[in-house]
């Protein structure tokens, strides 16, 4: 009987395939071929914690620490997976909405998080970390403003990865050759007044050969960043759409006259583009607002600028005003379907509170840590030859406590689109009417901002989940 068993299997298989269609047979063969893979996958998922990241640079920085964590016998092993940004967003949201498991830990970028927060608090797919952060003293150890994008209705759902303060990078070789002392510039008004003569230096009369500032009406995130610097923004403290809050109108009118009209001082040198890099390399644009991460990218993408650039605090909108802003951001969250919250929490802290990782991120990408006690570490305070010998890390750290609050509203991308529409129309108007006085643009700005705000509020009101969220925020 035992000797005939294989023959019986073969006979059964022949009979099976003779009596089914070719399509069903193919499906069966695929099932048999993939069964070991599925089985191994299930076994791995029972054994490991999954950690999703969307940025290759982050994944590369984390691997040595993940390997070190996994080498400890008492730790559950962590499976680090690099996933495309959009694919990760779709998988995360579909999991949260359907209640199906996702990764145990996920790094989430600022523009992803709004949709996670679009329903009631109990529907948020990440674990509420608020009480744990307070109990372990992390609210004091981590730069307080860096929690704002990951906070909704007073509850915090992630550990901040970064701070991303913004400074002004300028062509020191050109500016200093003209005898301009940038340390005496306090406000944007000072900046324009002192540097405007450089626009026409060496060119035909009345025709600029260079522009002072890299900003354009299509750079919505840069415009929003400048609004936040001024104490404005597209949302109020309750994360309600509020386009007409002060000083939005005044600041947007000023920016519009920088971009359009006879007094134009700005040029579009887009980030991550060959054309934008060429304009900066040639000195066609003199100054660009740069967050810490962009200051790092330039060191690799624009090496020929080494020793020609310097950094300074952003000029303030009013004397004594804020000299920085914020652009971008990432958090680490633990999903509610995580198989072991305590293990995930310990791993998250070992990663994000690590001074070793803080140094690696700064050396590789110029990103400063949100962990306050790291700010005194020596590597942040070393001269940087690329930025003309300045201690560039220390300059960003000096401004880190002053970065403005960021919204976590699920309507932030909608609001940015509306801001772009408004600015396009106002700049066109300034061009067509040859307007250089910001005050002359304020009535049109108020009209357009009010119209866009009302449109967005109508869209919110039509959505049951979003209108319910608005009521929850008001309560």
The residue segments making up the domain with residue 74 are 48-163+328-383
Quick one: pLDDT at residue 471?
55
Q: According to the model, what pLDDT value does residue 44 have?
A: 43
Pair (413, 379) in one structural domain: no
At 106, phi and psi to the nearest 5? -140, 135
Residue 161 neighbours by CB under 8 Å, 6+ apart:
58, 107, 329, 330, 331, 332, 352, 370
pLDDT tops 60 at residue 470: no
Per-residue pLDDT, 437: 97
Note whether 106 and 227 are same-domain residues: no
187: exposed, middle or buried (Cβ count in 10 Å: 0-12, 13-18, 19+): middle
Give the residue with greater pLDDT, 212 vs 467.
212
- What mean pLDDT comes out for the span 376-382? 98
The pLDDT mean for the chain works out to: 90
Same domain, 423 and 297: yes
In the block, which residue shows the tokens 């995580």? 338
Q: Residue 25, Cβ neighbours under 10 Å: how many? A: 14
Residue 35 lies in a domain: no
Distance (Å, rounded) from C-alpha 403 to C-alpha 292?
Answer: 12
Measured CA to CA in angstroms, residue 9 lies from 13, 234, 396 at distances of 6, 70, 71
E strand or H helix at 90, and its extent? helix 85-98
Summary count for the chain: helices (H), strands (E):
19, 12
Choose among 159, 61, 164, 156: nearest CA to 117: 156
pLDDT on residue 4: 45
Cβ-based neighbours of 83, under 8 Å, separated by 6 or more: 52, 53, 54, 91
**DSSP β-bridge partners for residue 235:** 241
Residue 357 and residue 317 in one domain? no
Q: How confident is the model at residue 461 (pLDDT cuts 50, 70, 90)?
A: confident
Which has the closest alpha carbon to 150: 114, 186, 183, 179? Answer: 114
If asked whether residues 362 and 463 sit together in one domain, one would say no
What is the C-alpha to C-alpha distance for residues 179 and 462, in angstroms, rounded to an integer? 58
Domain count for the chain, please give it.
2
User: What phi and psi, each to the nearest 5 degrees, are found at residue 379?
Assistant: -65, -25
Residue 59 is assigned to a structural domain of this protein: yes
How do 78-82 and 49-53 pair as beta strands? Answer: parallel
Task: Look up the CATH number of the domain holding residue 411.
Answer: 3.40.190.10
Q: Is residue 151 part of a domain?
A: yes
pLDDT tens sequence across 256-279: 999 999 999 999 999 999 999 999
DSSP string, 409-460: -TTHHHHHHHHHHHHHHHHHHHHHHT---GGGGHHHHHHHHHHHHHHHHHHH
Q: Do residues 333 and 375 both lie within one domain?
A: yes
Residue 293's region, left for phi above 0, alpha for psi from -120 to 50, else beta, is alpha
- What span, in angstroms and rounded, lies between the C-alpha atoms of 231 and 245? 9
> Distance of CA 234 to CAs 12, 254, 271, 316, 439, Å?
70, 17, 23, 19, 20
Both 186 and 227 in one domain: the answer is: yes
Regarding whether 368 and 304 lie in a shared domain, the answer is: no
Give yes or no for a contact between 214 and 259, defined as CB atoms under 8 angstroms apart. no
> Cis before residue 284, ω within 30 degrees of 0?
no
Listing from the earlier edge strand, what are the strands of the sheet with 309-313? 266-267, 211-214, 285-291, 166-171, 309-313
Distance, CA of 131 to CA of 438 (rounded, Å) = 47
| Closest to 288 (Cα-Cα) out of 168, 139, 144 | 168
Q: What is the mean pLDDT of residues 230-238?
A: 94
20 located within any domain: no
- The verdict on 98 and 175 lying in the same domain is no
Q: CA 323, CA 399: separation in Å to the nearest integer? A: 7
Predicted pLDDT of residue 132? 97
How does pLDDT run across 158-194, given as a tens digit for each residue?
A: 999 999 999 999 999 999 999 999 999 999 999 999 9
Grade residue 475 by pLDDT with cuts at 50, 70 and 90: low
Confidence tier at 405 by pLDDT (50, 70, 90): very high
Q: Both 255 and 315 in a single domain? A: yes
Task: Inform me whether the pLDDT recorded for 27 exceeds 70.
Answer: no
């Amino acid at each position: 009987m035992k000797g005939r068993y294989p023959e019986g299997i073969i006979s059964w298989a022949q009979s099976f395939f003779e009596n089914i269609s070719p399509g069903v047979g193919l499906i069966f063969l695929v099932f048999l071929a993939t069964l070991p893979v599925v089985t191994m996958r299930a076994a791995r998922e029972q054994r490991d914690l999954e950690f999703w990241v969307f940025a290759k640079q982050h994944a590369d920085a984390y691997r040595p620490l993940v390997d070190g964590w996994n080498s400890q016998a008492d730790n559950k092993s962590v499976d680090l997976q690099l996933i495309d940004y959009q694919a990760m967003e779709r998988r995360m949201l579909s999991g949260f909405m359907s209640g199906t498991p996702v990764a145990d830990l996920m790094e989430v970028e600022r523009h992803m998080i709004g949709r996670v927060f679009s329903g009631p608090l109990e529907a948020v797919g990440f674990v509420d970390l608020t009480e744990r952060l307070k109990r372990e003293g992390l609210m004091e150890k981590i730069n307080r403003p860096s929690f704002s994008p990951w906070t909704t209705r007073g509850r915090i759902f992630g550990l901040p990865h970064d701070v991303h303060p913004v400074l002004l990078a300028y062509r020191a070789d050109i500016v200093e050759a003209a005898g301009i002392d940038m340390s005496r510039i306090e406000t944007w008004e000072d900046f324009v007044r002192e540097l405007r003569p450089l626009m026409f230096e060496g060119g035909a009369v009345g025709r600029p050969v260079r522009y002072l500032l890299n900003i354009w009406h299509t750079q919505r995130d840069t415009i929003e960043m400048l609004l936040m610097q001024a104490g404005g923004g597209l949302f109020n403290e309750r994360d309600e759409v509020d386009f007409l809050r002060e000083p939005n109108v005044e600041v947007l009118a000023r920016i519009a006259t920088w971009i359009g009209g006879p007094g134009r001082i700005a040029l579009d040198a887009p980030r991550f583009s060959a054309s934008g890099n060429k304009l900066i390399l040639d000195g066609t644009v003199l100054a660009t607002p740069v967050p810490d991460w962009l200051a790092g990218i330039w060191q690799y993408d624009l090496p020929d600028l080494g020793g020609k650039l310097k950094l300074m605090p952003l000029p303030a909108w009013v004397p004594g005003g804020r000299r920085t802003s914020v652009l971008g951001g990432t958090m680490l969250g633990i999903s509610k379907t995580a198989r072991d919250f305590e293990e995930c929490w310990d791993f998250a802290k070992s990663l994000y509170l690590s001074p070793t990782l803080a140094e690696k991120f700064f050396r590789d990408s110029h990103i400063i840590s949100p962990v306050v006690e790291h700010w005194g570490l020596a590597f942040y305070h070393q001269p940087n030859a690329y930025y003309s010998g300045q201690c560039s890390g220390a300059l960003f750290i000096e401004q880190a406590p002053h970065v403005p609050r960021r919204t976590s509203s699920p309507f932030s991308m909608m609001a940015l689109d509306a801001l772009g529409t408004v600015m396009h129309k106002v700049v066109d108007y300034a061009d067509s009417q040859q307007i250089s006085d910001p005050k002359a643009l304020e009535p049109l700005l108020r009209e357009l901002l009010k119209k866009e705000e009302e449109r967005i509020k109508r869209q919110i009101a039509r959505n049951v989940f979003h209108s319910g969220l608005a009521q929850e925020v008001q309560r």
